[in-house]
Structure 1
Amino acid sequence: MTTLVGLDLTGRRVVVVGAGVVGTRRARRLIEDGARVVLVDPSPSEDARRMASHGDVEVVERAVVASDLDGAWLVVAATDDPALNAEVARWCLAGRTWCVNASGFRAGTARVAASSTHGDLTVGVVSAGDPDPRRVATVRDALASHVESGAVDLRRRRKRRGRVVLVGSGPGDPGLVPVAGLEALATADVVVTDRLGATALLDRLPADVEIVNVGKSPTNHPVPQAEINAILVDRALRGLTVVRFKGGDPYVFGRGGEEVHACRRAGVEVSVVPGITSAFSVPALAGIPVTQRGVATSVHVTSGHVGADAAALAALAAGATVVFLMGVSALPGICAAALEQGVAADLPVAMIEQGSTATERVTRATVGTAAQVASTAGVRAPAIIVMGRVAAPGFLDDPVCATTGVSDDD
């Protein structure tokens, strides 16, 4: 009979006997769990020596003796000699120390589960009979995929302190939401959501999850930021898990910093799941690399709703790619300021509406024509505006254009 138990090895001594391929692999996982790992082997592998050189493990370069196990909370017998592993297991049994015998479970007193971690939840699988690592790993991976999909209700049943998780939902395509974001949604009692981003995922939530829509549009801000902050704090102080579901990345013009400040001032636990910012992902999906060796070696991202600031104009003049977020209404002023700054009128401009979604549209122009083209085409927010040589139509299809300035030696 096997009982699955979780061990907290943080800061605790764990001895791994055998510093070959198996031993170093086991050691690496134990390090990730926070254990103080000691590797004992008369001929440690180069990998083990490198780990020791970084201070990740202690290596004892000699044959193991029983006293090496003194003070250990867990021992892993991982040499390529089954008889030695069995002897180490007998020492552990005599000393009442749990031992994983890599040569076979029945000669040891413990086995390490194949596990996956999902936030503060770990799912583990072990063989109750003879070891079958590939079978166990297959089951573990299937369970992990199911949990990561967001299809499992991960909400807490036992009440605890409330918390807030800021989740970046990317540019809009649900497939671009990070796994950690899906898992956070599955833990939510309350979701405070923007208008933009992968909001289609909210349809998957259980019916009793509270959804608070605080979305803004360029001319309509129905819920002020101070009120959003208050909602987050209020629900968390009630002991609820609150997910702030934000378009793009919380810290890229998403006011995530303000929300974190509000939570911390109120003593509310808060964490952040970064998202894929639309500033880079939307151009990429539209075939625009915001940097290209020999063409654009830097990129400047700015909030376009205030117009062209001095830094953006300087970047354009220097040949950098400039990405404007929320800049549709300010586009005429941006283009006029760029031309006054001496930016070439024929510098390419790409306007990408509804990026990453089925209704994505890309409109091409130049700095000299963009304002008129946008007006004629009816370009509307949400849209990303990219200015720079990389925004030229067919940039990636033209090897001459895409490699301008790059030599064979670069």
Structure 2
Amino acid sequence: MSPCKVILVLEQCSSGFATGDGGRQTDENKAKGTCMTIKHIRPEVLAMPDPVAAFSAVEAVAARQGLPPEHIIKLDANENPYGPSPKVQAAMAAGQAWHLYPDITHQALNRALAAYAGVSPEQVVATSGCDELIAMLAQLLIGPGDEAIDNAPTFAIYSLVVHVQGGHMVVVPRLREQHYALDTPAILRALSERTRLIFVCNPNNPTGGLTPQRDIEALLETGIVVAVDETYHEFAGVTMAPLLQRYENLVVMRSMSKWSGLAGLRVGYGLFHPDLARQMRKLRMPFNVNLAGYVAALASLDDVAYLHANVAKMIAERERLLQLLQGIPFLHCYPSHANFVLCDVTGVPAGRLRDEMEKEGVLVRVYQSMYLPNAIRISVGKPQHTEAAIAALHTAGQRLKLL
């Protein structure tokens, strides 16, 4: 499939807000403003669709389905079911400086992240979640008319931030027949003199596939900045961070949300060549990592063995979940290197399957878009969550006459 330029492709992905993926549009979302100040807003922003929440709050689902909130099993956002390290709760409870700003230079956090990642502190840039890091990278590299390369289906925020900067996203579709593998030759053909940035989510969200190092190196050899999103790398056991010693155009983006269970505290970080990191810091807002996130991240990095043990449990449960899902006739599921499993749905719109599973108190993510026409993504939980998800799928399948 040939690459194409797009204004905005939120439908292809996996962010908290998306369109075209089965989200529930409300009248309030559809309402158009009449404020005269609208004329001063940048056209790139006006052209964007209104966001539709891809996830429902537990309380909202419980009220909608008449279920107790504690009976809702949330498998739609790839959150860590084991939560943070006990050291995080202890550190938060012991904190007495919440009225003060955190260290604006992130010195202690940068040292701890560097030790964990195997780089030097001057190569680390800490951010308020990986989303902020992605936005800062676009601010650094993308101007009006510049291009970036996206590989759909993948994470939505890449397209969003490039569009906001006035750039064009060139979409090179992944190879569906090869479990959504990266089409590296097509990417190389799609490069132009305006290409400033190539995004590679590895493992990819929402498909779970892993791109081999040789493909990453082929992209790096072009000299264009290659941003490898390693949000889920702990679940794959693979990282491109050692390549930073050879390629100054490599950026490794990471998150504390998944492996360490800090999704609600928003801590991410990037690994760069020191010169590139210095330029990135010019764009970082003061105190961007809040004090609670700062304290929690330090406590997590002081308890890596405990957290990695939880990751190992999730990897084992991922394989069990995949095996059980493969026994459901109306699903075609893909092997995963992350903490979720993607399944194509046959015989019924994926949104209907999602709705029937919600009636059983199990939440999953639905995709109904150009690059994922009819699929659900199920996050890995604890063993009892897997059992509930499989039971909900069977119940939904019977209601929908798929079994």
With the length of structure 2 as denominator, give the TM-score of the two structures.
0.29
Hey, which of these two has a bigger chunk of helix by percent? 2
> Structure 1 length normalisation: TM-score?
0.29
The structure richer in strand per residue is 1
The structure, 1 or 2, with the larger RCO (C-alpha pairs under 8 Å, 6+ apart) is 2
Question: Which of these two proteins has the greater Rg computed from alpha carbons?
Answer: 1
